[in-house]
Amino acid sequence: MNDIIFRPIGIIHTSFKESKETPIQPRKSGGAEGTIEIYDEYIPALDDLDGFSHIYLLFHLHLSKGYELKVVPYLDNRKRGLFATRAPRRPNQIGLSIVRLLRIEKNILYIKDVDIVDGTPLLDIKPYVNSFDEQTEIKIGWLKNRIKDNDIHRADSRFDDT
């Protein structure tokens, strides 16, 4: 019932070959770089994108199978409601990352601050616009005091299927 069908518009290439050891967030990646190969049919849709320094990537968390409604997230040691976390095993396996766009050459996007596993199917690109996307009066629930600036934090295998 109500199936919604999407198809990749490209593939993300990075140095992270499995979910274990992949950074848990772009800002925790230590500046990791990667590329995105956009399928040829979509090249005209990339026009004007190179004026933006940051882009949202929406992608298929293709290694994630199944999910639990309560999980122990990275940066915590007790179970939290899944939707209060960014854990990759979700009812709909959609990943969201904001990465830095370095340059575009034909159908290849060069990106930085990457927290994505190699071979991940890309679903959409949207420009990051600070006056739309930056928020004020923010509360971050259980994550308060759990995030340290400038550290690098990589995944373990807790969300692997195996």
One character per residue 130-159, x = contact with a copy of itself (rule: CB under 8 A)? xxxxxx-xxxxxxxx--x-x----------
Residue 123 makes contact with a copy of itself by CB under 8 A: yes
Site for a copy of itself in 51-80 (CB under 8 A): 51-54, 56, 58, 60, 69-70, 80
Which residues are CB-contacts of 43 (< 8 A; sequence separation ≥ 6)? 106, 107
User: How near is the Cβ of 21 to a copy of itself at its closest, in Å?
Assistant: 19
Residue 84 makes contact with a copy of itself by CB under 8 A: yes
Residue 85 makes contact with a copy of itself by CB under 8 A: yes
Residue 6 makes contact with a copy of itself by CB under 8 A: yes
Task: Quote the CA–CA distance of 106 and 104 in Å, as a whole number.
Answer: 6
Q: Is 148 exposed, middle or buried (0-12, 13-18, 19+ CB in 10 A)?
A: exposed
* DSSP code at position 130: H
User: How near is the Cβ of 138 to a copy of itself at its closest, in Å?
Assistant: 5
Nearest one of 7, 122, 97, 111 to 49, comparing CA atoms = 111
Q: How many residues does the chain have?
A: 162
User: Please, what is the end-to-end C-alpha distance for the chain in angstroms?
Assistant: 29
One character per residue 27-46, x = contact with a copy of itself (rule: CB under 8 A)? x--------------x-xxx
20 vs 112 by CB, closer to a copy of itself: 112
**CA angle (111, 119, 134) in 5-degree steps:** 40
Residue ranges that bind a copy of itself, judged by CB under 8 A: 1-9, 25-27, 42, 44-54, 56, 58, 60, 69-70, 80-86, 90-92, 94, 96, 98, 100, 121, 123-135, 137-144, 147, 149
